[in-house]
Amino acid sequence: MPTKQGALTDSDRRNMRVVMDRLIPPVDDLPGAGTMGLLDEIERIASEHDRYRKSLVRFLDALTMDMSVEAEGGFLALSGEQQDEAIREIEESLSKEFANVLEVVYISYYSRPEVHARIGWRTGPLQPLGFTLPPFDESILDTVRKREPFWRQAPD
Amino acid sequence: MPVVTSHEAVDVVVVGSGASGAAATWRLAKSGFKVVCLEQGPWVDHSKHPATKANWEELTRTSWAYHPNIRQGLADYSVNDDASAIKVLMFNAVGGSTIHWTAHVPRFHPSDFRVRTLDGVADDWPITYWDLEPFYDENDVMMGCSGISGDPANPDRSPRQMPPLPLGPDGDRMAKAFDRLGWHWWPSDSHVNSQPYRGRLACNNCGPVGWGCSRMAKASTDVTYLPEAVEFGAEVRAESTVYSVVTGGDGRVTGVNYFDAEGHAQWQPANAVILACNGIGTPRMMLHSASESHPAGLANSSGLVGKNLMFHVYAGASGVFPKNEPAYKGPIANIIMSQQFYETDPARGFVRGYTFQMGRSTGPASTAVGGVPWGAGHHQDFIERFGNMSGLGVIGEDLPLETNRVTLDPDRRDRFGIPAPLVEYRLDENSKRLLAHGVRQARTALLEAGATRVIETAQSVNAGWHLMGTARMGEDPGRSVVDGNCQAHDADNLFVIDGSAFVTGGGVNPTPTIQAVALRAADYICRERSDLKR
Ligand SMILES: Cc1cc2nc3c(=O)[nH]c(=O)nc-3n(C[C@H](O)[C@H](O)[C@H](O)COP(=O)(O)OP(=O)(O)OC[C@H]3O[C@@H](n4cnc5c(N)ncnc54)[C@H](O)[C@@H]3O)c2cc1C
């Protein structure tokens, strides 16, 4: 169980890595989010931002305190489907906290260059390169320009 | 509060340096008024905006988040909006929320100022569209407007300073769908440069314009109005948090108490005070400035300070389109808009109306956080959405209700001891029907454009970026806080020039109207209130 300050224990980390693999599973030649080694990054973000830290703590608390999970020998002992089920239960009961946990996992995963390479996103900052678009072409207005003004007159 | 330093008296203190405060500071300084603009936030270093960092998507959700309670910057005060159906968004820095804004700048329609006369709801404004028109134009010159005149949904307007921003293939696709449906659309007016303008670069289409612009292609008032205001002699005192507006026994304001960057208490005497802290910060300041001569809060004899809060009600739909040129290139929400359903049509079952504002795709993390499910279906869903989404936001007019309001939180305070604003807001039936209509029509338009899937948002919660109505203008002192020139009924040297002064909110983004109102008020002071000059 997480300590009061919110630092994760080894057991929390093991659980969280598996949770992350369930949230974002492996695809093509990429491992799942947990196996990818994102937990340090998630802990870094959580340590800087209360919202994520508190949510992570509550989520992991809920995971270890779930009696049905404990009865099966803990989260790690469950089958993949059962793990999904346990996660889904927390998603329902702690929806706000779960949304924050999912958000921080998504942010970490989708900030990785190897993920960017797979999905075709130019990695790195957006500036100074930006993107190129053709300039505005007025001919697109041909149809709408035929419309008479239709704004409503108002008395003074 | 014990005062440490007393400053030399000035003509006018402007509190807040955002859209409205900066515009008024500029106008007054240009006319020779001695002006000090007090701003609780710091100057922003534009070279450090999220788009310049590899982890920009993390930053947009943390230290650059829209909600002050998430961001928790030193200048941010906590907002208690637990009891509000819409969460309050703002930025606190020199430039105010224009650091964050997306700079989509439609104007109100003439009908927006006459809703009581035309539709029998709310109240008419004491001024008209035509009173504001020259100030809209003046503001466009200062901020720089990309767009094109000739929109049939609006009165004709002066030539825009720059051509429209590129629509992109996604904008073209949506525009053609509107054409096929026979619905109105028009390229957005944007205070984002499509060409270099007044020393600021052109936009290079990086996307997340709502989190600052390192090229300064987006007009924020710290790079438009304020540098010129300073040249005209205004002083911008950043990191100065106003604690209260002080009044004398005659009820007139005498100056403001504030805390400087080091937390030292300061006294700034002035002939006049202009409040420009936005539709939440201004009523907060007024309620916190109760005094013997203003026992219910500053200029609150009507009891309306803090009441009639309006945000605009928001909903929308996003279409997932077949793979094409990625739709994340270009500013996220400065593409096209449609005002097909702007004016009242009783057959629709609600009064007033809404604008569709088109939005586009964004980066990978934001796409995922935007609703991609976790688990086995994750990757498939993500790939379908990423770079392939276009949205239509419904910006609906919410009518003023006295029960939608800002009061002072009895428990929560900021680091200077100023109570947090307590925000209560609910949607009325008219708003609900309006949004339901908007979402249905958005779906129709997206399907017409070729979307293979449409994801609806019945009502957006994190959408309180337009803050209006909490110190409204009117002719009757019993039913309004300020007059048509933004001058308080209860103190002739106090002015409220931000969105608080709005009587109704229209169905469009409000900032050009906020700035036009502010410029008009400043113009009035320059022309009619020479008594406020030393
Ligand atoms: C994410 C986002 C996107 C937006 N996009 C658009 C858009 O596309 N189009 C549009 O029209 N509008 C948009 N808006 C709204 C727009 O930013 C606001 O309408 C506009 O900035 C309001 O101007 P203002 O002067 O009333 O207040 P603000 O710009 O909010 O400025 C108020 C200033 O007052 C300061 N202040 C408050 N209290 C104190 C105090 N006690 N002492 C000293 N200083 C104080 C604050 O720090 C702040 O800088 C957006 C807003 C957000 C948050």
Tell me, letter by letter, the H, E, C secondary structure of B246-271. EECCCCCEEEEEEECCCCCEEEEEEE
A131: helix, strand or coil: coil
Flag whether residue A121 sits within 8 Å of chain B, measured between CB atoms.
yes
**A22, A24, A127 member nearest B51 (Cβ):** A127
User: What is the per-residue pLDDT for A6?
Assistant: 62
Q: Which two tokens stand for residue B37?
A: 């603009």
| B40 within ligand 1 shell (Cβ under 6 A) | yes
Flag whether A130 is in a domain: no
**In B, residues 59-88, which contact A (CB 8 Å cutoff)?**
61-62, 70, 72
- ∠ CA(A78), CA(A84), CA(A88), 5° rounding? 125
- The DSSP symbol for B50 reads G
The answer to whether residue A131 neighbours chain B at the CB level (below 8 Å) is yes
Q: Please say whether the beta carbons of B274 and B38 come within 8 A.
A: no
- Answering whether pTM is above 0.95, one says yes
B113 has a chain A CB within 8 A of its CB: yes
Chain A hits for B162, Cβ within 8 Å: none
Indicate which of B47, B56, B58 best probes the interface with A, i.e. most A CBs within 10 Å of its own CB.
B58
CA distance B152 to B290: 47
Task: Give the SS3 label for residue B410.
Answer: strand
Q: Which two tokens stand for residue B258?
A: 């504030």
- CB contact under 8 Å between B172 and A140, yes or no, is yes
Question: Amino acid identity, residue A7?
Answer: A
**pLDDT for res B1:** 72
DSSP state of B66: S
Within the 13-52 window of chain A, which residues sit less than 8 Å (CB to CB) from chain B?
22-25, 27, 45, 48-51
A73 touching chain B per CB within 8 A: no
**Does B139 contact ligand 1 (Cβ within 6 A)?**
no
For ligand 1, atom 14, the nearest C-alpha belongs to B101
Closest-CA residue of B relative to A122 is B363
Q: Is B453 exposed, middle or buried (0-12, 13-18, 19+ CB in 10 A)?
A: middle
Structure tokens at B326: 């990625």
Q: Are B497 and B521 in contact (CB under 8 A)?
A: yes
Residue A4 in any domain: the answer is no
Say which of A27, A119, A147 has its CB closest to residue B386. A119
- Minimum-distance ligand 1 atom for the alpha carbon of B106: 11
- Chain A, window 74-113: residues with a beta carbon less than 8 angstroms from a chain B beta carbon: 84, 87, 102-103, 106-107, 109-111
Residue B244: strand pairing partners: B257
Q: Can you say whether the dihedral through the CA atoms of A137, A140, A142, A146 is positive or negative?
A: negative
Residue spans of beta strands (DSSP E) within A114-154? none
Q: What is the pLDDT at residue B365?
A: 98
Amino acid in position B195 = Q
3-state secondary structure B438-452: HHHHHHHHHHHHCCC
pLDDT tens for B460-515 read 999 999 999 999 999 999 999 999 999 999 999 999 999 999 999 999 999 999 99
- Whether A111 sits inside 8 A of B58 (CB atoms) is yes
B226 class by beta-carbon count within 10 Å (0-12 exposed, 13-18 middle, 19+ buried): buried
pLDDT of residue A2: 56
- One-letter amino acid for residue B407 of the chain: T
Domain for residue A19, yes or no? yes
Instruction: Mark which residues 90-109 of B lie under 8 Å from A by CB.
Output: 109
Q: Which residues 53-72 on chain A approach chain B with CB closer than 8 angstroms? A: none
Whether the bond into A128 is cis, omega within 30 of 0: yes
**What confidence tens digit (pLDDT) does each residue in B273-305 have?**
999 999 999 999 999 999 999 999 999 999 999
- The SS3 assignment for B78 reads coil
3-state secondary structure of A63: helix
Residue with token string 């924050």: A100
Domain containing A93: what range?
Answer: 10-123
pLDDT per residue as tens digits for the range B427-472:
999 999 999 999 999 999 999 999 999 999 999 999 999 999 999 9
Half-sphere exposure for B499 (CA within 13 Å, toward CB): 27
CA distance B156 to B471: 31
User: For residues A12 and A16, what is the distance between their CA atoms, to the nearest angstrom?
Assistant: 6
What kind and span of H or E run contains B371? none
Q: Could you tell me the two tokens for B174?
A: 């949506």
Classify residue A146: in a domain, yes or no.
Answer: no
Asked whether residue A93 is assigned to any structural domain, the reply reads yes
Report the residue of chain B nearest A154, measured CA to CA. B111
Residues of B in contact with A125 (CB under 8 A): 51-54, 56
Residue A149 lies in a domain: no
CA distance B40 to B418: 13
Does residue A75 fall inside a structural domain? yes
Q: Which of A24, A119, A148 sits opposite B383 (nearest CB)?
A: A119
Residue type at position B372: V
Query: Could you give the percent of chain B with pLDDT greater than 90?
Result: 98
Q: Does B373 touch chain A (CB under 8 A)?
A: no
Please write the tens of the pLDDT for every residue from B358-416: 999 999 999 999 999 999 999 999 999 999 999 999 999 999 999 999 999 999 999 99
For each successive 10 residues of chain A (156 residues), what is the average pLDDT?
67 96 98 97 94 96 81 88 96 97 98 97 97 97 97 94
Omega before B512 cis (within 30°)?
A: no
pLDDT for res A156: 87
Q: Which residues touch A74 (CB under 8 Å, ≥6 apart)? A: A64
Q: Pick from B127, B150, B224: which is nearest to B513 by CA?
A: B127
Q: For atom 35 of ligand 1, which residue has the closest CA?
A: B16
Q: Does A129 touch chain B (CB under 8 A)?
A: yes
- Burial (CB count <10 Å: 0-12, 13-18, 19+), residue B323: exposed
Distance CA B486, CA B473 (A): 7
Closest-CA distance, B123 to chain A, in angstroms, reads 14
Evaluate: CB of B104 within 6 angstroms of ligand 1. Answer: yes
- At residue A133, the pLDDT reads 97
d(CA B431, CA B39) in angstroms, rounded, equals 35
Residue B229 clears pLDDT 60, i.e. is over it: yes
ipTM: 0.95
B172 in contact with A, Cβ within 8 Å: yes
Could you give the number of structural domains in chain A?
1
Query: What pLDDT score does B91 carry?
Result: 98
Report helix, strand or coil for B6.
Answer: strand
* Angle separating helix axes A80-93 and A95-109, nearest 10 degrees: 120
The nearest CA of chain A is from the CA of B315 a distance in Å of 20
How far does residue B91's CA lie from ligand 1's centre (Å)?
6
Question: Strand, helix or coil at B12?
Answer: strand
Count helices and strands (H / E) in chain B: 12, 16
Which residues of chain B lie closer than 8 angstroms to A147, CB-CB?
A: 152, 184
**B97, B192, B239, B360: residue to mutate for ligand 1 pocket, most atoms within 8 A of CB:** B97
| 3-class SS shares of chain A: helix, strand, coil, % to 5 | 60, 0, 40
Q: Which chain B residue's Cα is nearest to A136?
A: B166
Name which of B111, B154, B207 is nearest A126 (Cβ-Cβ). Answer: B207
- Cβ atoms of B483 and B489 closer than 8 Å: yes
Tens digits of per-residue pLDDT, B188-222?
Answer: 999 999 999 999 999 999 999 999 999 999 999 99
Helix (H) or strand (E) run with residue B368 in it? helix B364-369
Q: Return the axis-axis angle of helices A80-93 and A50-65, rounded to nearest 10°.
A: 120
Q: Does the structure show a pLDDT above 90 at B255?
A: yes
pLDDT (tens digit per residue) in B5-35: 899 999 999 999 999 999 999 999 999 999 9
Chain B residues lying within 8 Å of A84, measured CB to CB: 375
Nearest Cα neighbor of B12 from B32, B33, B39, B31 is B33
Q: What is the pLDDT of residue A4?
A: 45
Q: Is B143 helix (H, G, I), strand (E, B) or coil?
A: helix
pLDDT at A102: 98
Determine, yes or no, domain membership for A143: no
Taking a C-beta distance cutoff of 8 angstroms, is the pair B500, B274 a contact? no
Give the three-state DSSP class for B412. strand
- Separation of B517 CA from ligand 1 center, angstroms? 15
Domains and CATH numbers, chain B: 4-532 (3.50.50.60)
CB nearest A153 (choices: B57, B110, B205): B110
Q: Is the CB of B509 under 6 A from ligand 1?
A: yes
Could you give the C-alpha distances from B394 to B216, B323, B351, B473, in angstroms and in order?
28, 25, 15, 26
Task: For B29-71, write each residue's pLDDT tens digit.
Answer: 999 999 999 999 999 999 999 999 999 999 999 999 999 999 9
A117 near B CB under 8 A: no
SS (H, E, C) B293-357: CCCCCCCCCCCCCCCCCECCEEEEEEEECCCCCCCCCCCCCCCEEECCCCCCCHHHCCCCCEEEE
What does the pLDDT read at residue B186?
A: 98
Q: Which helix (H) or strand (E) covers residue B436, if one does?
A: helix B429-449
Ligand 1 touching residue B79 (CB < 6 A):
no
Please tell me the distance from the alpha carbon of residue B175 to that of residue B167, in angstroms, as a whole number. 9
Closest residue in B to A49 (Cα) is B62
Residue B231 CA from chain centroid, whole number: 26
